[in-house]
Amino acid sequence: MDLSFIDVCSGCGGLSYGLKSVGMVPKLAVDIDKDAVEIYKKNVDWNALVKDICRLRLVKNQADILVGGLPCQGFSTLGKRNVYDERNYLWVQFLRLIRESKPSALLVENVPEFLQTFHFKKFSQKVSKMGYKTVWGVLNAVNFNVPQNRRRAIFMGALNRVPELPATNEKILTVRNAIGDLPLIPDGKNDHTSRNPTKLSLKRYKCIPEGGNRFDLPKRLQSPCWRKLGKKGASNVFGRLWWNKPSATIRTTFVQPECGRYLHPKADRPITIREGARLQSFPDSFIFEGSIKAKTKMIGNAVPIKFAESLGESLISAV
C-alpha cells in the first residue's frame, strides 16, 4: 500500500512533488501563501488549502506521514534572527498536529541554525516523549542530485524503527549540467526570462569574470557603500557562477545579482526564472504563474525536488 502524507507550510510543492515522485500519496497540503497554494494545485495535487497552521486541525491516522518545511527567517543568519519572530514558534503547532494525527513518521526541514536553538531542543525532546525514534543532521542538497550548495537541517521521527538520514550521492552536478542547454539569450519560453537590468547594471555585469564578484568592478562602477567597504563585506554580491561547479544557494532574490552570486556563468545577465528552477531541480514541466517576485519567492523557498526524493525514500524505509 502506498504511504500517504500531509505537508504543512508546503509552499509551491517542492517537498511534496519529490515525495510523490517516489510513490507517496499527497493527502493534504496547507500554506498561508495563496499564490503558492495555487501553484501546488496545478503541479502536485488539488487537495491544498490556504490556511494558517495554527487553525489547522487533523484527526488520528489522517495520513501515514506528516512533513513540514517550517519558516526559517527567524533562525537564518541572513535574516534579522529575531528571537521574538512568531514564526519561530510554529514548531509548537507542528507538535500539536503530531499529537492529533499520530503519524507513523514525520519530517521537519529548516536552516542549520535551527538545530542550535532552544526551540529545537524542546521540540526534539517532546517528539521523543511521544514515542518517536528520532534522527537529525545537516545535509547539503548538492549531495542528492541537486546542482546547488544548499545546507539544510533535517529532523526525522518514526514510531516503528529508527529512521536513517539518506545516503549521499558521489556524483556532483554542476551549473552546466543544469542549464547548459538553455539559450544564452533568454527566449521568454517557459519562464526563461528575468528582470530588465539598468544600463549601469549591464556595465557592471561585463566586468565580472566567471567566478568573480563585486571586487572585480573598477571603482567608477562601484556603489559608494562598496567603495567604503573595500574588500570587506559579502563576497558573493554581484558574483558570477561557475560552469563546472554547483551553484550558490538559490534564494528568493536569485534574479538580483546585488543580493548574491546569481550572474550567469557566461552571459552578461542574471540567471532566469527557469534557470533558478532547474538549479532547484524542478522539471521543466513544473509551471509557475504570477509576477517575477512571486515566482522567485516560491522557487527560492522550495525544498529542491531531487533532495525531497531522497528524503522520501528514507521516510518509506522508516515506516
Structure confidence by residue, pLDDT tens digits, 247-303: 999 999 999 999 999 999 999 999 999 999 999 999 999 999 999 999 999 999 999
What CA–CA distance (Å, rounded) separates 130 from 138?
Answer: 23
Burial of 66 (0-12, 13-18, 19+ CB in 10 A): buried
Identify the CATH number of the domain defined by range 175-299.
3.90.120.10
What CA–CA distance (Å, rounded) separates 29 from 47?
Answer: 7
With CA atoms as reference, report the closest residue to 130 among 155, 95, 92, 156. 95
Q: 100-159: per-residue pLDDT in tens? A: 999 999 999 999 999 999 999 999 999 999 999 999 999 999 999 999 999 999 999 999
Torsional class of 311: left (φ above 0), alpha (ψ -120 to 50), beta (otherwise):
alpha
Q: Could you tell me the fold of the domain covering 4-169+304-318? A: Rossmann fold (3.40.50)
What CA–CA distance (Å, rounded) separates 276 from 292?
Answer: 12
Domain boundaries, the chain: 4-169+304-318, 175-299
Whether the model clears a pTM of 0.95, i.e. scores above it, the answer is no
